[in-house]
Chain A
Amino acid sequence: MPNGNPETVQTVIETRGVTKRFGNRLVLKGIDLTVRRGELAVLFGPNGAGKTTLLRILATIMNPTAGTITIDGFSAKDDAGVIRRKIGVVSHLTFLYNDLTIRENLDFYARMYDVPQRKERIQETVEMVGMGARLNDRVGTLSRGMQQRVAIARAVLHQPEILLFDEPETGLDQRIISVLWDNLRYEKGVKRTIVLTTHDLDRGLELGERFLVLSRGTVVYDNVRAQVDTSLLRQTYEQWAGVAI
């Protein structure tokens, strides 16, 4: 159904019955997920819940074993290329080449995304993450936090409408995090749609507009901020994650 239309499609991310199996292990068990345009959805879950797998499937890096994914009206199966242009991914892994400089890394990704006026856009994004002075430094020589800032610059280089964040704050200090969130939330004055995974409940509650708990491959809680009962959410998370918060 390649009929994406930003004016009319209010549901930007929709998954139906998404299942992922690795050998005999069922990692995702029929995920039904809906994220509306401009929403910041936080996906909580303990390690091994399937958060990263779900985000990789949403980013079309990986195919589901079963189920359908629609992003902005485009089918992930038939229009993966269109979807990838709309999405920026930040993971706890940086997707950066240690042997290349920041400029070379960003230039490579800019070429892959057909970014027009590459030089100017690279400068703009590195300034945004406060790494303008280190443009010619090799990524391998940077601290973990600096690498993560470059990874964020890489993810927004092509001005995506949707951001998928898998534990994006790895290694970043609080001051940088708040500055970055202000810049990441909007693209050309329009609120971005963001899916964020975290196992930090307090941080997720602070940022999110919609909250989901993923446990053992199943969504066990789904609610919007206006209706969320924080203590119930904590209870649910504790129950399904098997940890005390």
Chain B
Amino acid sequence: MSFLSKSLAIARKEALAEMRTREMVFAVLVFTLLVLVIFNFTTGVSPQVVHDIAPGLLWATFSFSGVLALNRSFVREKENGCLDGLMACPADREVIYAGKALSSLVFMLSIEIIALVIFTLLFNVNVLSLPLILITFLATIGFAAVGTLFSALSANTRAREMVLPILFLPVVLPVVISAVQASEKVLDGKSWGGLSPYLQLILAFDVVITAVSYLVFAYVIEQ
């Protein structure tokens, strides 16, 4: 219970700080909007082109906006030595990981839902279907889980904006590729049965990567 309540306290603190400054929301939303608008202009409105590029475009947008958000995840903790304050608290390091991953997950999901709405409006393709939302949700779990670990790792480096995507994107590639292919199947009108192998793959990745990230976080944060 203490684990959960302290993780929630960290996530709550993150949300409060973000609501106060809106730094991250603003940056990520503008980036997302820009990518979608630029692609909208370059591809025109041909339904076939939109259908072909939609999964890749969506996941490229989610991936890079996610990296942008994750880059900021531990920056706040570096100000005034707050990470030391957190680590001096009577909580396992894994509590910090869970709180941070949870707040990143909620943040990224919120941005992705907005991106899906914008995509639907700009490209006239309904991507707000239940299977696509489920794919997005499952893939974002893995994304946030491994991203939180790499965000902590890169926070102490001078060129963290560069280090994070270089380290993180290759690791998360299996989940992004699976998500792209699953999204393609959804847009092709395939049934749940057709999606099943991809969903299983994403789920397996989520379980493995979350467990590994959870276990090695304490080591990473103490270095």
Task: Tell me the A residues contacting B by CB distance below 8 Å.
Answer: 56, 59-63, 81-82, 84-85, 87, 89, 91, 93-100, 104, 108-109, 111-114, 138, 147, 154
Contact = CB atoms under 8 A, between A and B. Distances in A.
Contacts of A61: 84, 87-88
Contacts of A59: 84, 88
Give 4 closest A-B pairs by Cβ, nearest first.
A95-B85, A93-B81, A111-B9, A112-B89
Nearest to A110: B9
A114 B76 contact: no
A95 B77 CA distance: 8
Nearest to A92: B81
Contacts of A63: 222
Given A96-B82, A112-B89, A113-B90, 4 more contacts: A59-B88, A61-B84, A97-B79, A108-B12
Contacts of B5: 111
B21 interface: yes
Interface residues of B, number: 26
A107 B174 CA distance: 40
B80 A114 contact: no
A85 B13 contact: no
21 contacts: A60-B87, A81-B90, A82-B90, A84-B90, A89-B84, A89-B85, A95-B82, A96-B85, A97-B17, A97-B76, A97-B79, A97-B80, A98-B80, A99-B20, A99-B76, A100-B13, A104-B16, A108-B12, A112-B9, A112-B91, A113-B90
A61 B218 CA distance: 11
Contacts of B90: 81-82, 84-85, 112-114
A138 B20 CA distance: 10
Contacts of A60: 87-88
Nearest to B21: A99
Contacts of A89: 84-85, 88
Contacts, number: 79
A84 B86 CA distance: 11
A62 B222 CA distance: 6
Contacts of A104: 13, 16
A100 B85 contact: no
B42 interface: no
A116 B98 CA distance: 23
Nearest to A112: B89
Contacts of A93: 80-81, 84
A235 B45 CA distance: 82
A25 B10 CA distance: 34
B52 interface: no
A91 B76 contact: no
Given A81-B90, A97-B76, A97-B79, A109 B85 contact: yes
A108 B12 CA distance: 9
B16 to A, nearest CB: 6
